[in-house]
Amino acid sequence: MTRIAAVHGALPPHRHTQREVTDMVARTCLPPGADRRVLDRLHENARVRTRHTVLPLDGYRDLDGFGASNDVFIRSAVDLGAQAVRGALRAAGLRPTDVDLLMFTSVTGIAAPSVDARLVTRLGMRSDVKRLPVFGLGCVAGAAGTARLHDYLLGRPDDVAVLLSVELCSLTFQCHDASPANLVATALFGDGAAAVVALGGRRAVSGPEIMATRSRMYPDTEHVMGWDIGSTGFTVVLDPAVPDVVRRYLADDVREFLDEHGLKPKDIAHWVCHPGGPKVLETVTEVLDLPDGALDVTWRSLADVGNLSSSSVLHVLRDTIEQRRPEPGTPGLLLAMGPGFCCELVLLRW
């Protein structure tokens, strides 16, 4: 089976309190003299204390349109991505030339050549490394990308595969947009990156073992989450019905998936859950009947860095490995949801 040899997270240098971000959003998104009580309440209820951004807060007002924002995305994604991949390979005891597959995912910017292509020479990877850039999966991509590494390595058990996620959500915030969806996005999302190194079954390595995966698309939910893309860039689509979709579908999917492997939710020792936001996490806890503290690592990640889209669940995975130190042989479940609307489940054995 595939094993996860290392997970490494990277954050940009500019760190802000939630209050500092709220004040910036009030200056840039609300009309002059507008009542900001709704904004303040949304940001306070997000359960986020601090976040990181690729630019200083006063740098966003100088971005002139999508082109300028995307130029920052490309430059910063390459820098932050290189940091994440180097850290993960170092932790795994591997070199860039050992990598056989580099998968890159993001939903906060676009580039051709893709970010992974720009990293091959910079990191010193082999010229025959296989690359797979993925766009559009959004928050689910950290889990889905990990699952697709597993799919690849099942067929190539001698290989090394790397997933890189870079999400620079601050570059998608829309100035002069006081819509509820934009204000919620500015309350939750931050910038960050993460890299996962996974090894095929014929390579001896310690680390969590990927036992099985499950993908699930939900009918008639395309409108729930995503982007409208126009001249000003990425405008968030974020329907208040997201928790309702989670409540309707997630429990059955998780229970059926675990049942196929002789497990029940109460058997899962560690839940590695994407921090979609307070309402989503409360709904996950409710429908799965999770014990107190089951999502503590996820809540802590949300508070410390915000929602990093696809990078978030990988930060939670890293923190679980480093801080919770799961007992060998115990089962864990990595899960995330995102545009589609969809869910990805990855069954782990520590």
Give the integer Cα–Cα distance in Å for 1 and 211: 7
pLDDT in tens, 300-350: 999 999 999 999 999 999 999 998 888 889 999 999 999 989 999 999 999
pLDDT band at 294; cut points 50, 70, 90: very high
Is the pLDDT at 195 greater than 80, yes or no? yes
Phi, psi for 105 (deg, rounded to 5): -135, 140
Of 131, 116, 42, the closest CA to residue 84 belongs to: 116
Segment (H or E) for 78: helix 65-92
Backbone torsion region of residue 159, taken as left when φ is above 0, otherwise alpha when ψ lies between -120 and 50, otherwise beta: beta
pLDDT in tens, 90-112: 999 999 999 999 999 999 999 99
| Average pLDDT for 193-210 | 92
| Residue 140: partners with Cβ closer than 8 Å, 6 or more residues away | 274, 310, 336, 337, 338, 339, 340, 342, 343, 344
Percent of the chain with pLDDT over 70: 100
Instruction: For residue 15, give both structure tokens.
Output: 């760190």
| Average pLDDT for 190-218 | 93
Query: 139, 169, 273, 342: which is the annotated catalytic residue?
Result: 139
Q: Are the C-beta atoms of 198 and 210 separated by less than 8 Å?
A: yes
Give the integer Cα–Cα distance in Å for 300 and 48: 9
Q: Which residue has the higher pLDDT, 201 or 149?
A: 149
Give the integer Cα–Cα distance in Å for 4 and 325: 14
Q: Are the C-beta atoms of 275 and 298 separated by less than 8 Å?
A: yes
The residues facing 228 across adjacent strands are 235
Residue 174 has what pLDDT? 87
Backbone torsion region of residue 226, taken as left when φ is above 0, otherwise alpha when ψ lies between -120 and 50, otherwise beta: left
Question: How many C-beta neighbours within 10 Å does residue 264 have?
Answer: 10
Return the DSSP state at 189.
B
The residues facing 53 across adjacent strands are 14
Whole-structure pTM value: 0.95
Q: Are the C-beta atoms of 91 and 85 separated by less than 8 Å?
A: no
Residue 222 has what pLDDT? 86
Give the integer Cα–Cα distance in Å for 4 and 277: 26
| Cα 170–chain centre separation | 14
pLDDT in tens, 249-288: 999 999 999 999 999 999 999 999 999 999 999 999 999 9
Of 164, 208, 183, 193, the closest CA to residue 312 belongs to: 193
pLDDT band at 63; cut points 50, 70, 90: confident
pLDDT band at 62; cut points 50, 70, 90: confident
Is 342 annotated in the active site? no
